Amino acid sequence: MTLTGHSFIGASRSNESTLTFNVKNPTTGEILEPPFHAATNEDLDEAVQLASNAFTLYSKTCPKTRANFLRTIADKIDALGPEITPRMNAESALPEPRCEGERGRTVGQLRMFADLIEEGSWVDARIETALPDRAPLPKPDLRSMRRPLGPVAVFCASNFPLAFSVAGGDTASALAAGCPVIVRAHSAHAGTAELVASAIQEAVAECQMPEGTFSMIFDAGIDLGTQLVTHPDIKAVGFTGSRTGGRALMDAAAARPEPIPVFAEMSSINPIFVLPGALSERAETIATGLTSSVTLGAGQFCTCPGLVFTTASDTLTDTLKSGFAQTAPATLLHEGISKNYNSGLSSLQNQPGVDTIHQIESPDPSKQGGPTILKTTAENFLNNPSLHEEIFGPSSMIVECTDLDEMLAAASQLEGQLTATVHGTDEDLENASDLLRILEQKAGRLIINGFPTGVEVCSSMIHGGPYPATSDGASTSVGTAAILRYTRPVSFQAFPESLLPDELKSENPRKINRLVNGQLTADPLC
């Protein structure tokens, strides 16, 4: 298809605006065509109004219909693969296998949510039957289930042009829940966004979803994003990005006359703790795995391990130096990430007590990030909060501890994280119950003898964590539980059968699992 650079407002495209921006190839610096037209305030208002109108109908579509809609989106994105991959590569410098893999993850998520809502038990249906003769007061018939919130605003991530963007997990889970979605495209990969948005728009028409079920706006700055979050008809926000950006959206949403939830994934250093037995037995193996994890995708994953707590080990350090020496500087996703990585790394290296173990110098810091391994002491880490900050890119810092007590002290000082990893022998782990207890309070996913990069998309995955990893540590942005973010529980008291949703009717026409008078069952009520 031919890219036009215009926003998607329901079934239509926006008109040309005076404010435009271009996408730049991060490898060559080439300006990519076409120019993209920032949406106007009128465009945004129309998109939200359409979404608000669509919610009345879309929220009531049967799960089978919504599931077919999600699978149609997936099919159309797959069909556009030959166009998406080269554009994504040109806009992000991500290699072709990564582009193909991310597309597979994106369509896989859509189909996963289609399966989830078609089966139906996710709604958490609960039924307590009436006891009219109960004394001293009768008990009413009460039935509850989860219902969609309303129109959702989704902000695309810079580091996942597909899987956390236009048709990514936020959009897939919101659409699955029955919520229309308005996406704010990321300016660094606007062409990829337009291709995916066209697939969704076609699916809306083909599946006869109400106009306004999906819109996508281009934005040259931040003002439209703020207006989107503060629009009274928006009921929730999904965001993946920096702590600064997420915090701004949280504050804007909280200041509304009607505050709304912002599900923001923001900042994580993903600490790794290497216990003495594991260090003694397999320091070289751990260092090799750590090198791969830190440099995977040029460190541009939110699960990149940025801190390694361990006792002193020449084997670990020497293996890391050797591994990093064999890793070339990589072109980062866009100039903003390159600038932040190199300035953040320089600031960290200038902190007292921080040594550079090995650094690959980048020939062009405006585009590239050189893999770097640093070292400091636990005492220094505990006394300098600047060492706790995330640096997004291919670097990590070893924090040498004298004993387990220093590890426990460091773990206690950590902010909320997406992941926390422990390497240990069976004996190490038996003696590390206090460490594991602390880390359980700090992270959304705990890993034993592995590495945090690689997020499996499945029902048991939790990709979340306490603030500032996310704005809501009780939720996840990956896995089937992500659908719960865009719903709320509603109780129906003394409703006649004809007015109840199918999920709550006595005969259980959906044949889903329900909690009936405290017992989980799929049987109909007698």
Q: How many helices (H) and strands (E) does the chain have?
A: 15, 23
Sheet of strand 395-400, all strands in order from the earlier edge strand to the far edge: 355-359, 372-377, 395-400, 307-310, 272-274, 417-423, 443-448
Give the pLDDT of residue 361: 86
Strands (E), 131-290: 142-148, 152-155, 181-184, 214-217, 236-240, 262-265, 272-274
Identify the bridge partners of residue 155 per DSSP, sorted by sequence position.
184, 239
Region of residue 197 (left: phi > 0; alpha: psi -120 to 50; beta: else): alpha
- Output the average pLDDT for the chain: 96
Q: Mind telling me the catalytic residues?
A: 265, 302
pLDDT tens digit sequence for 283-294 = 999 999 999 999
Give the pLDDT of residue 197: 98
The CATH architecture one would assign to domain 272-448 is: 3-Layer(aba) Sandwich (3.40)
Q: Is the model's pLDDT at 363 over the cut of 90? A: no
Mean pLDDT of the region 92-112: 97
CATH class of 12-266+476-484: alpha beta
Q: Is the model's pLDDT at 364 over the cut of 90? A: no
Domain with CATH 3.40.309.10 in the chain: 272-448
- To which residue do tokens 């590495």 refer? 451
pLDDT tens digit sequence for 149-169 = 999 999 999 999 999 999 999
Radius of gyration, alpha carbons of the chain: 25
Give the pLDDT of residue 293: 97
Mean pLDDT of the region 264-272: 97
pLDDT tens digit sequence for 476-520 = 999 999 999 999 999 999 999 999 999 999 999 999 999 999 999
For 121, how many CA atoms within 13 A lie in the half-sphere containing its CB? 10
Give the pLDDT of residue 179: 98
Mean pLDDT of the region 50-74: 98
Domain with CATH 3.40.605.10 in the chain: 12-266+476-484
pLDDT tens digit sequence for 402-435 = 999 999 999 999 999 999 999 999 999 999 999 9
Q: Give the model's confidence band at 526: pLDDT under 50 very low, under 70 low, under 90 confident, else very high.
A: confident
Burial of 515 (0-12, 13-18, 19+ CB in 10 A): middle
Cα–Cα distance measured from residue 1 to residue 312, given in angstroms and rounded to the nearest whole number: 57
